Structure 1
């Protein structure tokens, strides 16, 4: 196989973007095999823009048509694993948009199916993992550049959305359709990156505001305390009401600190001795000089790296990687199993908020399902 015929399920903003990339020849070894959407208006759009590409309003019919070797899902979160399970059962290579699902238990279920299909590719669309900045950050942490992590702080509030955004469609910002707000819609990439780079916390305690600054039922403001179980802690803050938002990630270790600003600039501060060593050997007189701002150059040095990114490049990278894995076994950027951790963390953050207490990971999946279902039932 030299070219993979992909079926795009869902022709909204993301689906149409991917179709554009592929049809314009920007994605190597990938062609559009078919498009699927339940909206009749989308059918008219596709027939005008892609007259030679088969269109289906039933994804199962598309999967059984012989027109596609693989699929990518760009549909509501609750449908990702539902569609993915059917595709895998029919030996169709599957790429799920983030998040893999709302329920970590369902992500585990689809991975169980994928484990029985070693020749079928199953991946998650974590395009931020291809960002050179975050790849560099992960390599620095993994190599022990700043020593053992002591604290993580990520403020990511660049998701400003006015009320008009939520009023576009009745399904937006609802429990029944999106099953959450900023945590499952805007911030999944950062949640994935945080656990991918720093590891999953053992416990979380969350303060979430629902409909705090917007007329919605779901979360629009989140502050979460992370406990990594070894003394290290963290804070994750996100919201959709800061019109002048902040994107600032700080990771502090025993041997230094890494600061990432606006996902473009990285400042690496390397201690010449570990903080543990300095603590045990520095005299009070030497420390007093440090407090005065003297001798700082003897303690650490700094490196600043600026990164640039091209819009769409990361999505193209994931699509190409997906095709390459199918064709020649190129390692995946994010396998299906990688979808579990981020969803598990989101489940824990919600559950902590609903219970008003600290919770451990992994959470009780039955309790999470019940409490989320209770919220869905209130909307019906």
Structure 2
């Protein structure tokens, strides 16, 4: 194979974005040959391609070697399973599934390891997070003591939530800020620091918006080695902030506004504490500003990596099977909040699935849908 024939299922804002990236020739070795959407008018701009309104017909068409799935969340699992059964490579938009049980089914269907299965975790291409992961894995911070990440720059207005009937509902989207916006940060959390052992969380339902899912979350995570972590996120705060702070035995690392700073202890804190005669004085530190060139190639980078993995065996930046970790963490935070107790990982997949189905059955929420009429150029105008 010299060229990957790509099909895209789902032509919402992200599907169209990915389609344009490939059509613009930004992905060497990849050709967009077919697209699919249940809403036929969305297919009109793609008259030079094969078009479908049923993903099953796209998968059976023989027109593609690989499928990029950019449909609503709940459909990720059945579409992915069908693609694997047809022998197609799969690039799945986030999240790979809404809940752990579905993610397990999707991964179980991935039996042919000659196929490439990747997830659209584009933040993994960001050199800031790559450097933090490198420093943590190499032990440059020493034993990690505390992690704190506040991500409240995901602001969304009521007009955003009103723009689609599926948006911010248990039945349509499967959650709120955690499953939609913050899933990228949650993936990075586990990619850099690993999975915690125990989770507590407060998930506020519709605190700032007329929605039935969470729009603000404060969570604490506990790791087996005693490391504690916190996650705060919201779509109702402005001006928001995105600040990651990591405290270790050998210093403290912060990332905020694109600036990565490392305060490196000349002597590890634990050794200094044991050996110093001083009662209040802290170890001397070096302040190191770590230069980072940019934010990486993001979605384009994942598409390039996916294509190169198929054609040349390049190692994946975001293997699809790793997508279950962010799904499990999201499920665990919601479980902890609804049950008002600490949740030990791994969670029981069936327990969260039952909770989700209960939320769907008992929902009395009536969604107000209004066509988006905000500033020209906003992708919601076309949704």
Shared fold per TM-score greater than 0.5: yes
Name structure 2 gaps, 5 residues minimum: 365-383
- 1:137 aligned residue: 132
Distance across 1 between alignment mates of 2:357 and 2:174: 9
Find 2:193's aligned residue among 184, 188, 198. 198
Residue in 2 that maps onto 1:61: 57
Q: 2:211 aligns with which of 209, 216, 219?
A: 216
Distance in 2 between residues matched to 1:307 and 1:159, nearest whole Å: 23
Contact 2:126 2:295 in 1 (8 A): no
1-structure distance, mates of 2:332, 2:295: 34
Tell me which residue corresponds to 2:102.
106
CA distance in 1 between counterparts of 2:76 and 2:211 reads 23
Distance 1:306 1:98 in 2: 29
Query: How far did 1:113 drift?
Result: 2.0
Structure 2 counterpart of 1:91: 87
4+ residue runs over 6 A deviation:
none
Per-residue deviation, residues 47-90 of structure 1 (Å, max 9, x unmatched): xxx32101100111011111110011111111112100000011
Question: CA–CA distance in 1 between the matches of 2:293 and 2:13?
Answer: 24
Instruction: Give the match's secondary structure for 2:142.
Output: coil
1:310 Cα deviation after fit: 6.0
In the TM superposition, what whole-angstrom CA distance separates every residue of 1:313-340 from its partner, at most 9, and x where no partner exists? 2111100110111112111111121111
Unaligned runs of 5+ in 1: none
**Alignment check: 8 A CA contact 2:306 2:316 kept:** yes
Please report the TM-score for the alignment, with normalisation by the length of structure 2: 0.93
How does 1:1-380 map onto structure 2 within 5 Å? 1-44=1-44, 46=45, 50-114=46-110, 116-262=111-257, 264-284=258-278, 287-288=279-280, 290=281, 299-309=284-294, 313-379=297-363
Higher helix share: 1
| TM-score, structure 1 as length reference | 0.93
For 2:300 and 2:175, the matched residues in 1 are separated by 27
RMSD (CA atoms) = 1.3
Separation of aligned partners in 2, 1:105 and 1:22: 33
Separation (CA, whole Å) in 2 of partners of 1:2 and 1:265: 40
Give the Cα separation in 2 of the matches to 1:138 and 1:367. 32
